[in-house]
Amino acid sequence: MSKPLRALILGAGYAGQGHAMALRSAGVDIVAMSSRTEAVGAPIARKLQIPEYGTDWRVLMEDLRPDIVAVGTPGGTHREMIEAAIDCGCHVFADKPLATTADDARHLYERARTAGIKTAYAASYWYQPQAYFARELVEDGTLGKIVEVECCSHFGWPALMPFGWPHRLATGGGRLNNNFPHKLAIAQHIIGGEILSVMGESRIDLPKVPITSDVHDFREFARRAMTPADAAKYQWAEVDSDWAYTALLRIGDPQADIREAASVTFRHSALRHAWNEDYIAIYGDKGTLHVEGAYMQGGLFLRSDRPGWEELAIPLHIRDRLPEIEDNTDRNWICLARDFVADIRGETVPRYLNFRDGWIYQEVIDTVRSNSCWKPVPR
């Protein structure tokens, strides 16, 4: 029996903890964790029963020479960490965004490919069970030819969250970097094919935020939201990351006429409330599938040639092949980790997202963020 693979986890926040549990579920030995603040990270490492912890990730990487490095830190740190892992000969499991620019993302993809290492890109809602079922309905012709996909979400987050990495593009912030990849992964999984073209816009709806103490876990930002009176006591920092976006993509067969591709619309606003619930809808020439939830976490409803909407249940054969874990994010990380680890071991695995996808997704993000598609209307 071969020795278990060994992993170093970079980051002790939400993603780092999730990556550690996911890789462990795939049979990987988690040998160490690193984060920037020992007072926060060391107790988390102990809680997760990770034997070694340190704030100097380079020392840990050089000393331990792990088989896998999982990068669960904010996106602004990814290029340096991933380059070091590649130089160390480690396979890399990286959260999104792969990098803060398309040029950096392409650089990491090409370096990993040249080095011959395996990579995983954790836009992990690719594994959502509703997405699997939607793909089956597309493949069996229930919806007919797919014409449109529509992804709409309004999170209604508080504006007065403490200043941190989500508020700066250089540190990997922005909704395009952190919300959009999951929804794009869902759409691409359902439709299949390649991303062929893109246009769109982004907005900075949040000009300034108060500077308080550091936030070490993404989930804490909203929990630590302030009232205007409390926020007025602090200094404020300028925000340059996008908090709303609209994107229009064409996804389909690169060998076919572009007019045969599906139009996919993404609409997201983090700070606004909406009357209607978040949803993803797939429109075909024979039927429409409407799925509740920004990331397809809710009920599925089909409208075909029969009048009215029919609620569908996810088939047992889909549920049976996925881990029995209630939390969607944790379950999807586990699914990606299992495919990634099986691939490292030389087993046959289905397609999963890797650094090539991370680069292509960042190309899309940079195009949308450029706001370069506007054309003035003659007056």
CATH code for position 212 = 3.30.360.10
Quote the pLDDT of residue 210.
94
High-pLDDT (> 70) share of the chain, %: 100
In a domain, 174, yes or no: yes
339 and 228, same domain (yes or no) = no
49 and 157, same domain (yes or no) = no
At 307, the pLDDT band (50, 70, 90 cuts) reads confident
Quote the pLDDT of residue 306.
83
139 and 233, same domain (yes or no) = yes
Quote the pLDDT of residue 347.
97
In a domain, 378, yes or no: no
At 221, the pLDDT band (50, 70, 90 cuts) reads confident
pTM: 0.96
52 and 135, same domain (yes or no) = no
Instruction: For the chain, give the mean pLDDT.
Output: 96
The CA distance from 344 to 331, in Å, is 20
Q: What is the CATH number of the domain that holds 68?
A: 3.40.50.720
Quote the pLDDT of residue 374.
86
103 and 155, same domain (yes or no) = no
Look at residue 2 and tell me whether its pLDDT is greater than 80. Answer: no
In a domain, 192, yes or no: yes
Look at residue 362 and tell me whether its pLDDT is greater than 70. Answer: yes
Quote the pLDDT of residue 214.
81
Residue range(s) defining the domain that contains residue 33: 6-123+332-353
Look at residue 1 and tell me whether its pLDDT is greater than 60. Answer: no
- Is residue 124 within 8 Å of residue 21, measured between CB atoms? no
Mean pLDDT for 300-323 is 94
How buried is 225 (Cβ within 10 angstroms: 0-12 exposed, 13-18 middle, 19+ buried)?
middle
In a domain, 18, yes or no: yes
In a domain, 171, yes or no: yes
How buried is 151 (Cβ within 10 angstroms: 0-12 exposed, 13-18 middle, 19+ buried)?
buried
Mean pLDDT for 86-98 is 98
Q: What is the pLDDT of residues 177-196, one digit of tens each?
A: 999 999 999 999 999 999 99
Contacts with 179 (C-beta within 8 Å, 6 or more apart), sequence order: 153, 268, 270, 294
The CA distance from 152 to 247, in Å, is 11
221 and 187, same domain (yes or no) = yes
At 270, the pLDDT band (50, 70, 90 cuts) reads very high
Quote the pLDDT of residue 55.
97
140 and 114, same domain (yes or no) = no
Please state the domain count of the chain. Answer: 2
The CA distance from 172 to 194, in Å, is 25
290 and 336, same domain (yes or no) = no
In a domain, 294, yes or no: yes
Q: What is the pLDDT of residues 28-68, one digit of tens each?
A: 999 999 999 999 999 999 999 999 999 999 999 999 999 99
111 and 224, same domain (yes or no) = no
In a domain, 61, yes or no: yes
Look at residue 23 and tell me whether its pLDDT is greater than 70. Answer: yes
Amino acid at 184: L
In a domain, 188, yes or no: yes
